[in-house]
Chains A and B, each alone.
Chain A
Amino acid sequence: MKIQTTNLDKGGGGKSSHTYNEGDWLSRVKNKRVLLIDGARECNLTHSFDVTSEKTIYDIFTTGEYEICRINDNLSLIRGDERLTDEQLDLSSRNNKYLQLFMWFSEHYDELAEQFDIILIDTHNDESLVTANFIAVSDIVLGVTDASTNGFRAWLALKKFVDYIKSEAVEVITKKSYVKAEAYLIGNKIEFYGNNVTETCKQFLDVVQEDEAYLGSIQKKELVAKSLVINQSVFEQREQMTEKQKQDHQKFYDNIEYVYQNILTVLEGEAA
Chain B
Amino acid sequence: MTNNRFAQLRDTFDKELPKKRKQSSGKEVAAQKSPDSYDKKGRYPFSLHYDVRYNKLEELVSYHKAKSASDYLEKLIIQEWNKLQRKLKD
Residues of A in contact with B (beta carbons under 8 Å apart) = 86, 90, 92-93, 97, 127, 129, 149, 152-153, 156-157, 160, 164, 203-204, 206-208
Contact, CB under 8 Å: A204 / B6: yes
Residues of B in contact with A (beta carbons under 8 Å apart) = 4-7, 9-10, 13, 19, 21-22, 24-26, 28-29
Q: Among B6, B19, B21, point to the contact of A207 (Cβ < 8 A).
A: B6
What's the count of A-B pairs with C-beta under 8 Å?
41
Contact, CB under 8 Å: A156 / B22: no
Residues of B within 8 A of A97 (CB): 24
Cα distance A86–B21 in the bound complex, in angstroms: 13
Closest Cβ neighbor of A150 among chain B residues = B9
Cα distance A250–B86 in the bound complex, in angstroms: 81
Closest Cβ neighbor of A164 among chain B residues = B21
Residues of A within 8 A of B6 (CB): 149, 152, 203-204, 206-208
Residues of A within 8 A of B4 (CB): 203, 206-207
Residues of A within 8 A of B29 (CB): 93
Cα distance A127–B7 in the bound complex, in angstroms: 24
Some 27 contacts from A to B, beta carbons below 8 A apart, are A86-B22, A92-B22, A92-B24, A93-B24, A93-B26, A93-B28, A93-B29, A97-B24, A127-B19, A127-B21, A149-B5, A152-B6, A152-B10, A156-B9, A157-B19, A160-B19, A164-B21, A203-B4, A203-B5, A203-B7, A206-B4, A206-B6, A207-B4, A207-B6, A207-B7, A207-B10, A208-B6
